[in-house]
Amino acid sequence: MRSIPDDRTTRAVIRDEALRLFAAHGPEAVTVRQIASAAGVSPGLVVHHFGSKEGLRQEVDQYVLAVFEAMLGELTGDGAAELLDPGAGASSLSEAFARHLPDDSPLPGYLRRLLLSDTDAGRLLFRRLYDLSRATLDGLAAAGLAAPGADPAVRAALLLANDLALFLLRDRLAEVLGRDPLSAEGMARWAPEMLSIYAGGLNAAPPHPRGDAS
């Protein structure tokens, strides 16, 4: 067994390895023994920390939600106005994605697998992501950074669907754009167009690069 890295707890290492295996093979196909082997611990220690594989899966789902909550939280926190500006905010938005989702993160793969599955876990995760999207829209509206629209429920669902498209269609988008849209370079291309449309609709002019006063 390998030693646990000093910068993560045993519980976090087990969770991260479970996330990686769930993303690659699907939660149903992964055993506690496989997770324990990947984490360098005994199966008994996995059970000790999480109670069961289902308990570990719930912990993984909670972690996924926490990552999204952190990203969405940046949209309503200090500096949100700059983050959502098509010119000045595109770089910041791409940096936020890179910070929360490094290139080797298994989270996008897990999210895609779970959301497309006909399971209670997938439905529950989507509902919780929708609730986050609705809360984010409400926060932006309260801060004067967005309008709730005539039907806030639909607007929140539309924004969520657009965001999730990056994860669900990641490979196909990479093929047509020639760049992984979730990579730092890909997000640097994606963010200006997305924010420009959000700010001004499909007739919006292309945003000026940061520092361009023309």
pLDDT band at 6 (very low <50, low <70, confident <90, very high): very low
pTM: 0.71
CA distance 139 to 150: 16
Encode pLDDT of 67-124 as tens digits. 877 876 766 666 555 555 555 544 555 566 667 777 788 988 898 888 888 888 889 8
- Residue 168: closest CA among 116, 94, 207: 116
Phi, psi of 147 (to 5 degrees): -100, 140
Residues 6+ apart with CB under 8 A from 53: 27, 30, 31, 32, 35
DSSP string, 18-33: HHHHHHHH-GGG--HH
Higher pLDDT, 7 or 49: 49
- Quote the radius of gyration of the chain (alpha carbons, Å): 19
